[in-house]
Structure 1
């Protein structure tokens, strides 16, 4: 009985292998029979995927890392996550976050068709040391601007840290800093 069971299981496996091979061959030759079975359809990359790829290719002078790009349909916004793992003081940390936006925006502007009418949101995190000496990542920064408004700004007019932070407070819809890094 056991040998009959093993033999029938072996035959089932052989039949499955032959069927799979036949589907693969027919898929490669005719393109019609096997396309429905066993073919993987790849989705075109989203704007978030494209931006993440393009931004990950660059090295930011500000020392800030881009840790993620997501699109949120409910708020119609692209959110770009920034992270700085070290800093010398709060002013340097603020300047690094703001300067990173100036480094990122030229790549964002390359996608006018996909981003027109959407918000561009930047969130920034940095290492925080709590009372027990444990290091954790803490959100320190959040800002947002309408893409269409951002295209009207002459970003080259803002050349130093003061100018860049002034642009942020005057043109961006919302700017939030954690109290630990807020300028005095």
Structure 2
């Protein structure tokens, strides 16, 4: 099914298609790209795949993944009719250097929040990296980081 720029949500066949288009249009300041959006009925969740293709230090990598969530959430929250009562799951991948010196993409991050809870958060109140990371730890279902990028 063809999609045109500037289309409304109602013209898309699925919420995944609509979100993927909306989330891939803006360039995220965090340097992270949205690489996929999928709905999983068995867990009642929309999963948003994030990817950072450039290598960076662990703190910057964590901060960029968290910042991307803050950039994405206003767009996601615009879909209350389709996403109300569902979970919003974020998975993040990044380039990693293996022990053999080769680079490969690996999962480094996973977290989720219930849509209804996310609508109650004042996202604009969290402006620095520490506040944002603390919000994830306090309000999201859980936050998992790969041991290579886990904060100390």
* TM-score normalized with structure 1 length: 0.75
Moved over 2 A (4+): none
* Greater strand content: 2
Conserved? CA contact 2:137–2:143, under 8 Å? yes
1: CA distance, partners of 2:24 / 2:12: 19
State the Cα RMSD in Å.
Answer: 1.1
CA distance in 1, matches of 2:31, 2:12: 31
Q: Residue 74 of structure 1: SS of its match in structure 2?
A: helix
Alpha-carbon displacement from aligned partner over 1:23-45 (angstroms, at most 9, x marks no partner):
xxxxxxxxxxxxxxxxxxxx952
Choose between structure 1 and 2 for higher RCO, CA contacts under 8 A separated by at least 6 residues. 2
Structure 2 residues without counterparts, runs of 5 or longer = 1-10
2:40 is the alignment partner of 1:72: yes
Shift of residue 87, structure 1, vs aligned partner: 3.5
Aligned equivalents of 2:88 and 2:33: distance in 1? Answer: 17
Structure with bigger helix share is 1
Which residue of structure 1 lines up, in the alignment, with residue 8 of structure 2? none
Equivalent residue pairs, number: 142
Match of 1:91 in 2: 59
Question: Which structure has the bigger radius of gyration?
Answer: 1
